Amino acid sequence: MDRLVSLENVSFGYDNQKIIKDLSFEIAEGEIVGVSGKNGSGKSTLLNIIGGLITDFQGMIQYGDNLGQIGCMIGGAPIYEDLSVKNNIEMIKRMDGTRNFRFDEALYDITDLKQYEKKRAGKLSLGNKQMLALLLSIGSKSKLLLLDEPFNGIDPIHKAALMKYLKQRAKSGTAVVMTSHIKGDLKFMCDRIIELSYGVDK
Ligand SMILES: Nc1ncnc2c1ncn2[C@@H]1O[C@H](COP(=O)(O)OP(=O)(O)OP(=O)(O)O)[C@@H](O)[C@H]1O
Ligand SMILES: [Mg+2]
């Protein structure tokens, strides 16, 4: 399996407090990597670093030549509240500079969101908003998905279906880095788990 990302001695902190301390690991195609740790331990920060949304870290990150765009859902459920569910997807399609966004209709079945296609996204229930945000980030052909607490608020049946879908994507080569507070979810989903500890000793 090809290596997609490699972190070498990555450190980062806000206001001179080191949150991410000297982290080194690699992410290969098809791997599902979990990131675990208490509130404030740096999970979202680490995903932002890997996704290129934080750049002023120390150390080095190397990206594989064939990585392409990264699918991100970090720090909440970003959706276009004023657009319909369908238009949210259309918007992401248009914004995909590589024209690689291929919305997989199967995702509509998995999430049961098709029935809300014409509904304004801001009026969806909490779990349905979360599923829409997830669809927007995993609907592209990205080889790497960074998913921050992807199943928050999603009921067990839809969660199981989405887990199955993501495992299937991993089998076909997509790498996933995901955070969760639910140990069982991480154990079920992930090939390995990175434990962050910022703030634990204080
Ligand atoms: N923009 C920011 N400016 C200053 N400090 C920040 C900023 N964003 C996060 N932090 C701090 O960095 C630390 C790590 O935050 P982060 O959001 O990565 O934690 P987390 O593990 O994702 O927590 P949670 O489980 O609550 O989502 C926290 O102490 C937080 O207060
Ligand atoms: Mg977080």
Domains of the chain by start residue, with CATH: 3-195 (3.40.50.300)
Spatial separation of the C-alpha atoms in residues 162 and 131, rounded to whole Å: 9
Nearest residue (CA) to ligand 1, atom 6 = 14
Q: Which two tokens stand for residue 155?
A: 């009921």
Spatial separation of the C-alpha atoms in residues 96 and 69, rounded to whole Å: 9
Substitution candidate for ligand 1 out of 23, 45, 56 with most atoms within 8 A of CB: 45
44 lines ligand 1 (CB under 6 A): yes
Spatial separation of the C-alpha atoms in residues 111 and 131, rounded to whole Å: 7
* CA of residue 61 to ligand 2 center, whole Å: 21
35 lines ligand 1 (CB under 6 A): no
Q: How do the pLDDT tens digits run along the chain, 202 residues long?
A: 789 999 999 999 998 788 999 999 999 999 999 999 999 999 999 999 999 999 999 999 999 988 888 999 998 878 999 999 999 988 887 776 666 667 777 888 899 999 999 999 999 999 999 999 999 998 877 899 999 999 999 999 999 999 999 999 999 999 999 999 999 999 999 999 999 986 554 4
* CA of residue 169 to ligand 2 center, whole Å: 24
The pLDDT value recorded for residue 142 is: 86
Residue with tokens 């966004």: 101
Q: Which atom of ligand 1 is nearest to the CA of 13?
A: 12
The strand pairing partners of 14, in sequence order, are 17
